[in-house]
Structure 1
Amino acid sequence: MNVFAERRKQLLERLQGVLVIPAAQVAIRNNDVEHEYRQDSDFYYLTGFSEPEAVLVLAPNHAEHKFVLFVRKRDPEREAYDGARAGIDGAKEDFGADAAYLVSELDDKLYEYLKGNARLYYRLGDNRAMDDRVLGGVRFTRQRGARNNHLWPTEIVDPATVLHETRIIKREDELDRMRRAAAITRDAHLGAMALARPGRYEYEIEARIREIFRRSGAERIAYEPIIGSGPNATVLHYRQNNRQMHEGELLLIDAGCEYDYYAADVTRTFPVSGTFSPAQWRLYEVVLEAQVTAIEAVKPGANLDAIHDEVVETLVRGLVREGLLEGEPEKIIEDRSYKRFYMHRTSHWLGMDVHDVGVYYQGGAPRSLEPGMVLTIEPGIYISPSDDKVPAEYRGLGIRIEDDILVTPEGYTNLTADIPKSVADVERACRG
């Protein structure tokens, strides 16, 4: 709990009012069956508390209660079905809350923490029922404040403005978890490369990946795995994972685990038969060159727009070289005709969320990279099976290569560098 206490301490020093964050809502899968519950990242980041139906209050101006939790009551009958609950005592003794109440008491108790604060940090629009409860507390505090001469919230600010700027810089304990997530993800990709063969189905590869994730201690997948063989590799968010693989095809796997609430995000593309065809090899080398060039550009002071532009230039020159695009590279980049083959951005932040929090622009300009940031580098080329303007040997090829990159004071560290991606290393891994 020391890690969470330190995070709260740092945030409390930055808050200019009271912060309220509800736990993630329970989502129904079908009838009375629930989806797997995963705590809201902001809530967990500050508390380590993984139960639903809870509310966090941070009140830097309160005389005694800086950290308050509203939680479910202990209920032996429900706990027999769903597991133990912390309750009020556990919230204080196990999670360090200065004060704890039943979540049913929120409406009555919120006034105590809102009064004296002109600013409320709360995200409107995510949970309408909670919005009503919090706004009801604001209304009550305003009514009492007008009569009792104390401040009430006249400004509601998204907590992201302070909290997400804390989360975007990873500390060593967070990086340890991300390194472990990367190591588990490495083992899963290696297992997939060794298993894939013509005649197997995409879901068999998915099963191997999920098995390795869980057997290695990852709580869950970081996102639904993409296991796209043949033409399915050209669909960016393909998730059916039910096609049979055939001789001579490529298999694109975009899969990462979540370990102790921290994500890995890795893509590898490899030949189902174990050896790249000449056309596959040439196109793969274009993507690999773009990815390596982009990774080498990561350093403090660089920005994701410039890195993306470098990727686009490398891909376009490679596509022109292979005859898939015609004309001057500069003109192709200017008119964006390359988007026929490369339609997405190169990078996103990575952390507790696979598309992690943090702004990409500051003051209207691309944000500069800083030590402690973690981002992905994931260029790709995707050629539609029906694109009759390219030679037949290229049709239906989808190739993406993605790694997780930590910005360091000296430059970068590739957290997923030991997952094979050179042609020789990939073919060797495919042979098991």
Structure 2
Amino acid sequence: MRAFLPLRPPRTPIPKQAAIPTALTNHPTLVLTRAGPRPLCARRPASSSPALGTTWTQQLLPSLQVRGLASSSQLFRPPAGKPEPQPINMAPYEEILKGKYPGNLHAKRVADYIRSKLPDATTGVIYLEGGKTRMIENCDQEEHFRQRRYFYYLTGCDLPDCHYTYDIASGESTLYVPPVDADSVVWSGLPLSTSEALDQYDVHHAALTTDVNSTLAHLAKTSSKTVYAISGQVSDHITFLEFEDKNMSILKEAIEYSRVVKSDYEVALIQKASDISSAAHRAVMEKVRHAKNETELEAVLLSQFVSKGSKNQAYSTIVASGRSAATLHYVRNDQPLEGKLNLLLDAGCEINCYASDITRTFPISGRFTPESRAIYDIVLKMQLESIAMLKEGVSWDDVHANAHRIAIDGLLQLGILKGDREDIFKSKASVAFFPHGLGHYMGMDTHDTGGDPNYADTDPMFRYLRKRGTLPAGSVITVEPGIYFCKFIIDPALNDPATAKHIDAGVLERYWDVGGVRIEDNVLITKDGCENFTSVVKDAAELERIISSS
């Protein structure tokens, strides 16, 4: 998060997979071109793979194959009438990742969106720039490079100082890479050549960045009078003089819309990132009882990321012990563990610009206190029942509201809340304990695009919900309920008569040291259910066993 089964049923037949679409047909050369059609992604028939485990019932999406990892718990069943997870065999995601990132498929999606909004846009040129090489202020060292996500979505290229064009009429894409700089070669080696770029990325043509303006001028005269670009992301030396119309608004909107439903390759990247992050979380669990401070545990986590192939974190890691776990985005990660009850670990790595986002909360000593276990069980129930509700078309607002109702029921049983369940819900008293949204879209960004949040909402229960409305099949969302004991949030509720009457301050005193409990998984929405990518354990008894035996 960044803010923001019992025994398995018998195996059931798996629907036959839909035919895999082949790649776009290639077009005549512009600079360098590749002969013959090629598949967008390498695939193979589904086969069993112990590395993948089992998943929720697979639902085939148009142009997508759904993959994931399932986490299970012995504590709670899905609600009556909701199908339980089914075992399934799947092809390893590494087979998919042997292919190329499907930039041309994504470009077609974006162009289709533009045409749907602007019916006259049968022609046009999409223009994008990648991120630039930048120097640290007052220093001769470069800043850590992070590619612009809009550029990456259409190219799969994670190199600085590149450009891209896409001719909507012909469907031809061109990636422009920097030319050789003799002085730079001495220090940094040769840059990617145009032939190497064509071989590495899913584009039709490759050229040098010195050719961008001349190519744009040629396209304006022969193919289109309109160029689509993103405001604020066009360099001063790039000229659109030959274009009659310059649309600087719809391209960003089109890419953000297209990014919501993930392609097969994107799903594979997210699953791989989730696998690495799950293993890293497990490693921290095995070390927590012997560590002296939060910093040691962050080092364990980062070592796992790098050793397994991920050099980048998807966001700043949260290693919060004791009462620090009540701070949603605690990132100090430097406090001692002695005398603390629990550790909240919120961390995810990034693979080829795609994120994972996992949170686990567990006892530092290897044994939950009664108060910690009670809160943990409520949060786990909130998460499991939320996941069980997920499928195409479900209202995320409804899932979020239901999680609040489960929290209210649990806190009523503990005596922290008091009064009528519906009155408590209407008073928003539960927001003092569960102040953030249930989850957010995830993809190239941890908080991915397309969620349509409403931060001006006057209802505090929904104000920080990063996704509003229904969930489409193919979207990836986090499910991360939490209960926190933060004085800065609860004290105002205790001072407000409307909510104070529902909170027992005396019972509450026993729970401050719990800090906060959050459990977060990454889930792919399918037609009739979902796929859970997150494999790290969350069963309370199993957590205690792992930590105590380490």
- TM-score range (shorter-chain normalised) is 0.7 to 0.9
Higher strand share: 1
The answer as to whether partners of 1:119 and 1:155 remain within 8 angstroms in 2 is yes
1:383 paired residue among 455, 464, 485: 485
1:218 paired residue among 310, 325, 340: 310
Asked whether 1:202 is paired with 2:304, we answer: no
Asked whether 1:56 is paired with 2:164, we answer: yes
Alignment of 1:38-49 (within 5 A): 38-49=146-157
For the structure 1 residues 337 and 22, does the alpha-carbon distance in structure 2 shift closer, same or farther, using more than 3 Å as the test? same
Shift of 1:277: 0.3
Asked whether 1:273 is paired with 2:365, we answer: yes
Higher helix share: 1
The two structures have a TM-score, normalised by structure 2, of 0.69
Shift of 1:5: 3.5
Shift of 1:356: 1.5
Match of 1:113 in 2: 219
The answer as to whether partners of 1:23 and 1:40 remain within 8 angstroms in 2 is yes
Alignment of 1:41-190 (within 5 A): 41-61=149-169, 66-92=172-198, 94-95=200-201, 97-114=203-220, 117=224, 119-125=226-232, 127=233, 130=234, 132-133=236-237, 137-138=239-240, 140-141=241-242, 152-190=244-282
Shift of 1:383: 0.7
Letter in 2 for 1:4: G
Alignment of 1:333-352 (within 5 A): 333-352=425-444
The answer as to whether partners of 1:247 and 1:272 remain within 8 angstroms in 2 is no
1:212-265 deviation per Cα after TM superposition (whole angstroms, max 9, x unaligned): 111111232111110000121111111110001023511000001112322111
The two structures have a TM-score, normalised by structure 1, of 0.87
1:108-159 deviation per Cα after TM superposition (whole angstroms, max 9, x unaligned): 543333456454332213x4xx26455xx34x225xxxxxxxxx21533332
Shift of 1:327: 3.0
Larger RCO (alpha carbons 8 Å, 6+ apart): 2
SS in 1 for 2:440: coil
Match of 1:413 in 2: 531
Structure 2 residues not aligned, in runs of 5+:
1-99, 115-120, 455-466, 492-504
Asked whether 1:372 is paired with 2:474, we answer: yes
Shift of 1:13: 5.0
SS in 1 for 2:102: helix
Distance 2:477 2:511 in 1: 30
Match of 1:394 in 2: 511
Could you list the structure 1 runs, at least 4 aligned residues long, displaced by more than 6 angstroms after superposition. none
Distance 1:359 1:132 in 2: 32
Distance 2:132 2:199 in 1: 24
Distance 1:384 1:3 in 2: 45
**RMSD of Structure 2 on Structure 1 (CA):** 2.7
Identical counterparts, % of pairs:
29
1:310-347 deviation per Cα after TM superposition (whole angstroms, max 9, x unaligned): 11111122223222233333233323232222111011
Distance 1:265 1:2 in 2: 21
SS in 2 for 1:192: helix
Shift of 1:53: 1.0
- For these two proteins, the number of residue pairs brought into alignment is 413
The answer as to whether partners of 2:101 and 2:265 remain within 8 angstroms in 1 is no
Match of 1:429 in 2: 546
The answer as to whether partners of 2:102 and 2:202 remain within 8 angstroms in 1 is no
Shift of 1:428: 1.5
The answer as to whether partners of 2:342 and 2:363 remain within 8 angstroms in 1 is yes
For the structure 1 residues 343 and 84, does the alpha-carbon distance in structure 2 shift closer, same or farther, using more than 3 Å as the test? farther
For the structure 1 residues 243 and 321, does the alpha-carbon distance in structure 2 shift closer, same or farther, using more than 3 Å as the test? same
Distance 1:335 1:132 in 2: 54
For the structure 1 residues 324 and 118, does the alpha-carbon distance in structure 2 shift closer, same or farther, using more than 3 Å as the test? farther
For the structure 1 residues 382 and 83, does the alpha-carbon distance in structure 2 shift closer, same or farther, using more than 3 Å as the test? farther
The answer as to whether partners of 2:379 and 2:483 remain within 8 angstroms in 1 is yes
For the structure 1 residues 131 and 80, does the alpha-carbon distance in structure 2 shift closer, same or farther, using more than 3 Å as the test? closer
Structure 1 residues not aligned, in runs of 5+:
143-151
1:6-27 deviation per Cα after TM superposition (whole angstroms, max 9, x unaligned): 4334544555332111102334
The answer as to whether partners of 2:291 and 2:297 remain within 8 angstroms in 1 is no
Distance 1:193 1:286 in 2: 21
Distance 1:2 1:422 in 2: 36
SS in 2 for 1:44: helix
SS in 2 for 1:395: helix
